[in-house]
A and B are shown apart, each in its own frame.
Chain A
Amino acid sequence: MSDELGTVAYVVLGLYLVLLLGLGFLGHLRGKATEEDFYLAGRGQGLWVTALTIMATYFSGFAMLTFPGWIYQWGIAPMLLALNLPVAGAAIFVIGNRVRKIGAARGFVTPADMVADYFGGSNPLRWLVAVVGMFYVIPYVIIQIKAGGHLAEGLFTGVDSIRLLGFELSIYDAGATALSVVTMIYVLVGGMRSVAWTDVIQGLLLLSAMVLSGYAVVTVMGGPAGFWQQVTTLPTDLLEVPEVPGRFNAWWMLGYCAFASLASIIHPGQWMRFYAARDARTLKQSAVVFATALPICTLFGVLLVGLGGRVLYPIDAGGNLPSILGSADQIAVVVIREHFPILFGMVGVWLVALILVAVMAAAMSSADSNLHALSAVITRDVYDRIAPGSSEKRKAWVGRIVIVVATLGALGISYWGDRNPDLGLLRTIGQFFLLAMAFSVQMLPLTVDILFLRRGTSTGAFCGLAAGLFTVFWFTPFPALILGTPAFEWTATVRAVADVGMVAVLVNTAVYATVSCFTRRSGSTKAEEYQRLLQD
């Protein structure tokens, strides 16, 4: 089986990577040499490109690896997290369309462009918003590259290393390198147009993989009746929501669905997709597709793999995973790899390779969007402030250099961290990654204020954002390292019942509102101007 898959996997992966590079160059040929075109594809993206690029950016390897892994390990309860998708879907129009309208009228490219403009050109606030974006983007890129290495290990089982240009590379290194170099090339040459076009392919692959994997596990277990009959024999605690403070308790999930969904919709990569959308109709239809089709593919597709996997590959009484699984995250990969060829014969082998490539696609589609967004944030929000008046050509080069440096840096960290596990570098980045959404959602109070309320002041926005970031920082490993673990035991208690992002947003909002009450607005002109722009 491994040998059969090995040959097919090389062919499918090769074709997929060539297709991505082709789309990258096609994007380059269709593009114009302007900053707006490189970052926003001329603000003309239509329905399917917008819907699929938003979706592909939203879903990382999380959709096919972590999420089914949680269900395999913890039962049905994490399935309720799929209800964050309609929340995000609604936000695509409610928030996204307002962002698009203002962005199109004022020529904005990054989130900080809008925030700084609204608050009278405040540079400290712009930089703080840029830092929020970077806190989200950088760990995301590193973790997706790392995921590429692990997926290559799953795709080429039995292959330990390959020789490339005279170098002996482990299969992990080869996978991480292939993912990052190909991603870097198509982002570099085609900008947003190439990123969005490749996202269409990656999004379609991912959706197919989600549906097919659910179909496979239900079929293997004797159809829907057999599937549910066997699932209902699982222990009761796997089929109910645990009480507080159990993992995936109702209060924690409520906070996650309400806030993490919005965090994943207002980070720089998604924000730029709103700017790039052609019109309101595009975002409206994208919102409906997102809120309906994605949960269907999730609830009736890939999440069933976690449940069925628990029946097919039981965890023993001591909590030990079966030997076929290195970690719970691999459940979807194992179910697909072991059962597709039996179900579908040689077609199944091709499907296995295609689906494993789709999982890699999910990682690449998040990595590309975040690399592209990072380039925009550093060029527009940092370089442009340090060197105002630079030509468009110069800024385009700076943006491309950022993409190269960020990719190579992330790849280097991935190599180095993998070879030196004792240093805990990747573990620390992983912990930051888990808090990435908590950092990102700190943009919510000031975004809501700019788009809907228009009451806050620049000082209030800065203090609120800083307070939110500071609150999330207490949940990172650093304070405990500096001040000792006992002083931070309370963070574990808070984490058990509440989403960290939600807690920090409450602090952020309170500080924002209070400081805004006691500070003066620079004038009401901007508020009136934005109100006019947002009127239908």
Chain B
Amino acid sequence: MTKIQKRRLSAGLTAIFLLALIMGPGPGNGLVRSPSGEGPAQLLGVPLLYAWTVFWFLVMASVVVTAAAYLWSDQDPPRK
């Protein structure tokens, strides 16, 4: 992977990670609030907020795994 490709991947992963923070624990979770008066929103019988939490965890975990695989160098300079 070239330096430019790495830089682009790094920027992309950072943006996705920040988006996941905003959409997961942040104000983005307001999108899964049900209209007042109705029961809690569900997805396949599971509360939508739980499914939402799991989804954004998977996004964040995928970002970390991708960064570890392609960006994080584990080469150490030789010890003196």
B27 pairs with A251, CB closer than 8 A: yes
Contact partners of B30 in chain A: CB under 8 A: 241, 250
Contact partners of A229 in chain B: CB under 8 A: 45
A274 contacts B by Cβ under 8 Å: no
Given contacts A81-B25, A236-B34, A236-B39, is CB(A279)–CB(B74) below 8 Å? yes
A240 pairs with B49, CB closer than 8 A: yes
A228 contacts B by Cβ under 8 Å: yes
A271 contacts B by Cβ under 8 Å: no
Contact partners of B21 in chain A: CB under 8 A: 83, 87, 254, 257-258
A236 pairs with B40, CB closer than 8 A: yes
Contact partners of B56 in chain A: CB under 8 A: 83
Set A77, A254, A295: member contacting B57, Cβ < 8 A? A295
B25 pairs with A76, CB closer than 8 A: no
Within 8 A of A (CB), among B4-60: 17, 20-22, 24-30, 32-34, 38-42, 45-47, 49-50, 53-54, 56-57, 60
Set B26, B49, B72: member contacting A239, Cβ < 8 A? B49
Set A80, A256, A280, A291: member contacting B29, Cβ < 8 A? A80
Contact partners of A82 in chain B: CB under 8 A: 53, 57
B25 pairs with A257, CB closer than 8 A: yes
Q: Which residue of A is nearest B47, CB measured?
A: A239
How far apart are the CA atoms of A434 and B57 in the complex, in Å? 25
Set A83, A93, A101, A231: member contacting B24, Cβ < 8 A? A83
Given contacts A236-B40, A280-B73, A536-B73, is CB(A250)–CB(B27) below 8 Å? yes
Selected interface stretch from A140-148, A281-289, A356-364, A473-481: A281-289
Contact partners of A257 in chain B: CB under 8 A: 21, 24-26
CB distance from B67 to the nearest CB of A (A): 7
Contact partners of A80 in chain B: CB under 8 A: 24-25, 29, 49, 53
Set A90, A254, A284: member contacting B25, Cβ < 8 A? A254
A104 pairs with B79, CB closer than 8 A: yes
How far apart are the CA atoms of A253 and B65 in the complex, in Å? 24
B2 contacts A by Cβ under 8 Å: no
A225 contacts B by Cβ under 8 Å: yes
A299 pairs with B24, CB closer than 8 A: no
Q: Which residue of A is nearest B20, CB measured?
A: A83
A138 contacts B by Cβ under 8 Å: no
Set B27, B39, B50, B79: member contacting A76, Cβ < 8 A? B50
Within 8 A of B (CB), among A263-283: 279-281
Contact partners of B75 in chain A: CB under 8 A: 280, 536
Given contacts A250-B26, A288-B65, A536-B73, is CB(A83)–CB(B60) below 8 Å? yes
Within 8 A of B (CB), among A73-124: 76-77, 79-84, 86-87, 89-90, 93, 97, 101, 104
CB distance from B59 to the nearest CB of A (A): 9
Contact partners of A236 in chain B: CB under 8 A: 34, 38-40
Given contacts A83-B53, A236-B39, A299-B53, is CB(A241)–CB(B74) below 8 Å? no
Given contacts A90-B67, A240-B34, A284-B74, is CB(A83)–CB(B47) below 8 Å? no
Which chain B residues have a beta carbon within 8 Å of chain A's beta carbons?
17, 20-22, 24-30, 32-34, 38-42, 45-47, 49-50, 53-54, 56-57, 60-61, 63-65, 67-68, 72-76, 79
10 closest A-B pairs (Cβ-Cβ)? A254-B26, A86-B60, A239-B40, A281-B74, A253-B25, A291-B64, A280-B74, A80-B25, A250-B27, A257-B25
Chain A to chain B contacts (Cβ below 8 Å), 7 pairs: A76-B53, A86-B61, A93-B67, A250-B30, A284-B74, A292-B64, A536-B73
